[in-house]
């Protein structure tokens, strides 16, 4: 995936000789100077440096990498403290690429360190003069792509057969989470999708972007979905159908993906360890490995992000005048008090802080100031699109709906056909 830059460029000499030279004639020499090809990456002209490319290895730390490259400890400590909001040196990830730019003179000094958190986002630490650190993004080109399929086995198979990014499967399942049970898809169900693909430098694939529009036909029933910005200030996007109805509920059912319920809400719970006394459990426990992301189940404002007693590290979110949620026993929080979060944002990670015998998140749900069982609540649907935006929305989706309707289906090969081709 990563390529090394060619750094050594020399002169190309072309010698031209005339036929049937007489003795003593001098050879005619033509010299063509090939100008170095300038390679610019991350905002730097790579030809000006000695370039070292590597990846974070097992046991690596930012300090160890810098010490190996002759950056002294006081500078390392200063970066870790001064720029911790820009670059948290504790969270460099094994396998992530980095680039070191060194001077070409005899000192071979490290001048720039570049850490790539993903194909688009990167952090630069510039050691030249006063040390500075900043975050930047690669220039990204977005290309619109259409896809469709008829399901013979599963949605993921229908998508992978066409070489479509697997993340589109996850995106579709999230968009239709409250409309379609993706574990019970039927043979013959159909889908169409219009989405963006991201490219760096026009050629390097950087993943699938957001789905702009989708159509799913499940058990013969059609489901349209269109991506629309409802709040440009907070960049809140929602998916609505062709009649401007919201496709999601106000709350996710679970704050953790792909987890299991290890303990339910139970006001009459008795525990042998406490002499079979009634000790109510007013939360729902979702067991998952340490470090698993914990998601905000609805939009809202963080009113607490702290550590207290048996709750351990936790976050509490106020969603409106009726509902609040709380997430206990975190390994670490990812949000601060007063911060606005959107449904699905990562607010922390599964841990074992406080009173807990295993890694899980205790999810607590308040309605009108009283803790209730979220699994028994008839959760409200998300707000429909505002009346002031409805006309604009319908005009926006009209060409997208026509585009969806004109996409032809590409059939997934049946199991019988796949067997014959093997």
Q: Which CB contacts under 8 angstroms, 24+ apart, belong to 158-164?
A: 158/191, 158/412, 161/412, 161/413, 162/410, 164/208
- Token output for 149: 């399929």
Inform me whether the pLDDT recorded for 383 exceeds 80. Answer: no
CB contact set of 7 (below 8 Å; sequence gap of 6+): 46, 47, 50, 51
pLDDT at residue number 402: 96
Task: Find where tokens 């460029």 sit.
Answer: 9
Average pLDDT over residues 331-343: 94
Q: What is the dihedral of CA 355, 311, 174, 324, to 10 degrees?
A: 150
pLDDT at residue number 66: 95
pLDDT at residue number 28: 55
pLDDT in tens, 175-224: 887 777 676 788 899 999 999 998 987 788 888 888 999 999 998 899 99
d(CA 422, CA 224): 37
Average pLDDT over residues 62-84: 93
Residue with more model confidence, 13 or 96: 96
pLDDT at residue number 52: 94
Task: Find where tokens 């930047």 sit.
Answer: 136
Percent of residues, the chain, with pLDDT higher than 90: 46
- Token output for 299: 């939009």
pLDDT at residue number 34: 58
Q: How confident is the model at residue 350 (pLDDT cuts 50, 70, 90)?
A: very high
CB contact set of 347 (below 8 Å; sequence gap of 6+): 294, 295, 296, 302, 315, 317, 327, 333, 334, 335, 341
Inform me whether the pLDDT recorded for 77 exceeds 90. Answer: yes
Hey, what domains does the chain have and what are their CATH numbers? Answer: 38-137 (3.10.450.350), 139-248+381-422 (3.10.450.350), 260-372 (2.70.70.10)
End-to-end CA distance of the chain: 31
pLDDT at residue number 266: 61
d(CA 355, CA 39): 55
pLDDT at residue number 331: 96
Q: Which of 87-91, 199-203, 405-409 has the lowest mean pLDDT?
A: 199-203
Q: What is the dihedral of CA 231, 233, 236, 240, to 10 degrees?
A: 20
d(CA 275, CA 203): 66
Inform me whether the pLDDT recorded for 90 exceeds 50. Answer: yes
Contact 343, 379 (CB under 8 A): no
Cα Rg of the chain, angstroms = 29
Q: Which of 69-83, 119-133, 266-280, 291-305 has the lowest mean pLDDT?
A: 266-280
Residue with more model confidence, 230 or 417: 230
Selection from 332, 343, 326 nearest residue 380 by Cα: 343
Q: Which of 63-67, 261-265, 341-345, 373-377 has the lowest mean pLDDT?
A: 261-265
CB atoms within 10 A of CB 219: 10
Residue 12 to residues 34, 38, 39, 46: CA-CA distances in angstroms? 7, 17, 20, 21
pLDDT in tens, 32-62: 555 566 678 898 999 999 999 999 999 899 9
pLDDT at residue number 379: 74
What's the pTM value of the predicted model, to 2 decimals?
A: 0.55
Q: How confident is the model at residue 280 (pLDDT cuts 50, 70, 90)?
A: low
CB contact set of 294 (below 8 Å; sequence gap of 6+): 255, 256, 315, 327, 330, 346, 347, 348, 349, 350, 361
pLDDT at residue number 169: 86
pLDDT in tens, 95-128: 999 999 999 999 999 999 999 998 889 999 999 9
* Three-state secondary structure readout of the chain: CCCCCCCCCCCEEEEECCCCCCCCCCCEEEEECCCCCCCEECCEEHHHCEEEEEECCCCCCHHHHHHHCCCCHHHHHHHHHHCCCCCCHHHCCCCCEEEEEECCCCCCCEEEEEEECCCCEEEEEECCCCCEEEEEECCEEEEEEEEEEECCCCHHHHHHCCCCCCHHHHHHHHHCCCCCCHHHCCCCCEEEEEEEEEEECCCEEEEEEEEEEEEEEECCEEEEEEEEEEECCCCEEEEECCCCCECCECCCCCCCCCCEEEECCECCCEEHHHCCEECCECCEEEECCCCCEEECCCCEEEEEEEEEHHHEEEEEEECCCCEEEEEEEEEEECCCCCCEECCCCEEEEEECCCCCCCCEEEEEEEECCEEECCCCCCCCECCCCCHHHHHHHHHHHHHHHHHHHHCCCCECCCHHHHHHHC
């Amino acid at each position: 995936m990563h390529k090394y830059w060619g750094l050594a460029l020399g002169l190309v000499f072309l010698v031209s000789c005339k036929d049937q030279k007489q003795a003593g004639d001098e050879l005619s020499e033509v010299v063509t100077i090939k100008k170095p090809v300038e390679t610019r990456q991350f905002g730097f002209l790579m030809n000006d440096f000695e370039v070292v490319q590597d990846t974070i290895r097992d046991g690596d730390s930012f300090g160890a990498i810098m010490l190996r490259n002759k950056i002294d400890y006081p500078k390392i400590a200063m970066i870790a403290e001064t720029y911790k909001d820009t670059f948290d040196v504790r969270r460099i990830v094994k396998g992530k690429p980095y680039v070191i730019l060194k001077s070409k003179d005899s000192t071979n000094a490290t001048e720039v360190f570049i850490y790539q958190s993903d194909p688009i986002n990167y952090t630069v630490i510039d050691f030249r003069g006063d040390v500075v650190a900043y975050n930047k993004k690669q220039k990204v080109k977005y290309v619109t792509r259409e896809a469709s399929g008829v399901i013979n086995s599963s949605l993921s198979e229908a998508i992978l057969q066409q070489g479509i990014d697997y993340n589109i499967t996850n995106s579709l399942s999230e968009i239709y989470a409250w409309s379609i049970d993706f574990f019970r898809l039927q043979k013959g169900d159909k889908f169409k999708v219009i989405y963006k693909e991201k490219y760096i430098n026009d050629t390097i694939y950087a993943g699938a972007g957001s789905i702009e529009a989708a159509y799913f036909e499940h058990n013969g029933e059609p489901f349209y979905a269109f991506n629309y910005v409802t709040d440009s200030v907070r960049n809140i996007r929602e998916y609505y159908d062709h009649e401007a109805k919201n496709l999601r509920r106000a709350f996710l059912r679970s704050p953790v993906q792909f987890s299991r319920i290890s303990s339910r809400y139970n006001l009459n719970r008795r525990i042998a360890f406490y002499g079979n006394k009634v000790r109510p459990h007013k939360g729902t426990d979702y067991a998952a490995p340490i470090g698993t992301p914990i998601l905000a189940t609805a939009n809202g404002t963080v009113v607490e992000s702290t550590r207290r007693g048996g709750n351990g590290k936790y976050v509490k979110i106020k969603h409106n005048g009726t509902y609040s949620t709380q997430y206990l026993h975190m390994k670490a929080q990812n949000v601060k008090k007063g911060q606005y979060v959107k449904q699905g944002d990562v607010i922390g990670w599964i841990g074992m802080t406080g009173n807990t015998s295993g890694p899980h998140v205790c999810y607590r749900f308040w309605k009108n100031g009283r803790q209730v069982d979220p699994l028994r609540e008839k959760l409200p649907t998300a707000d429909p699109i505002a009346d002031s935006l409805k006309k604009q929305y319908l005009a926006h989706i009209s060409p997208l709906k026509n585009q969806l309707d004109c996409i032809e289906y590409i059939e997934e090969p049946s199991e019988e056909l796949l067997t014959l081709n093997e």
